[in-house]
């Protein structure tokens, strides 16, 4: 029961970012996607409602599959934390990793990358060698 609740929470947290990205995509399309385009597909505009309905009916696997569909169909690019939530939910349900392994993930910013680096080395490794000057003819 606890594991199911954790899985559902992962899906709900991931859904919040996906819904923002989806709304942004519809806004960029003037709220009316071109007929037949990737954005003009069933279950995208009302995707949040579909995912929550699956969760209400005890179908977290279908909820996660629909959430992944909402990312793949219009080509949304998600954050690494959202990808990790999707992966965590999928693994908890023993789903096929190929469902989430190829989802497009935004690259980390330089700041995020640097902050994630483990602290290594001594301060002395980073000290500047004093400039003793050099002989220059004037």
What pLDDT score does 110 carry? 80
Mean pLDDT of 14-34: 91
Q: Is residue 92 part of a domain?
A: yes
- Give the integer Cα–Cα distance in Å for 4 and 58: 9
Q: What percent of the chain has pLDDT over 90?
A: 59
Q: For residue 114, is pLDDT > 90?
A: no
pLDDT for the residue 1:
63
Establish if 129 belongs to a structural domain. no
Q: Is 41 exposed, middle or buried (0-12, 13-18, 19+ CB in 10 A)?
A: middle
Task: Tell whether 48 is covered by a domain.
Answer: yes
**Whether pLDDT at 120 is above 70:** yes
- Asked if residue 122 belongs to a domain, the reply is no
25 within some domain:
yes
The answer to whether residue 125 is domain-embedded is no
Q: What is the pLDDT of residue 82?
A: 96
Number of folded domains in the chain?
1
pTM across the whole model? 0.75
68, 31, 30, 63: which is closest to 49 by C-alpha?
Answer: 63
Domain extent for 37? 2-109
**Residue 119 forms part of a structural domain:** no
Alpha carbon dihedral 77, 30, 45, 70, in 10-degree steps, equals: -20
Mean pLDDT of 109-128: 74
Average per-residue pLDDT for the chain: 88
**pLDDT of res. 98:** 94
pLDDT digits (tens, 9 = 90+) for 57-95: 999 999 999 999 999 999 999 999 999 999 999 999 999
128 within some domain: no
């Amino acid at each position: 029961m606890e594991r199911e609740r954790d899985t559902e929470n992962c899906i709900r947290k991931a859904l919040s970012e996906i819904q923002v990205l989806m709304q942004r995509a519809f806004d960029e399309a003037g709220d009316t996607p071109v007929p037949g385009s990737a954005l003009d597909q069933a279950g995208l505009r009302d995707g949040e409602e579909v995912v929550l309905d699956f969760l209400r009916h005890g179908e977290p696997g279908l909820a996660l599959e629909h959430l992944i569909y909402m990312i793949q169909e219009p080509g949304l690019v998600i954050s690494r934390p959202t990808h990790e939530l999707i992966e965590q939910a999928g693994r908890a349900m023993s789903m096929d990793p190929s469902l989430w392994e190829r989802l497009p993930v935004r690259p980390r910013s330089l700041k995020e990358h640097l902050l994630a680096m483990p602290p290594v080395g001594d301060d002395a490794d980073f000290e500047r060698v004093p400039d003793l000057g050099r002989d220059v003819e004037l």
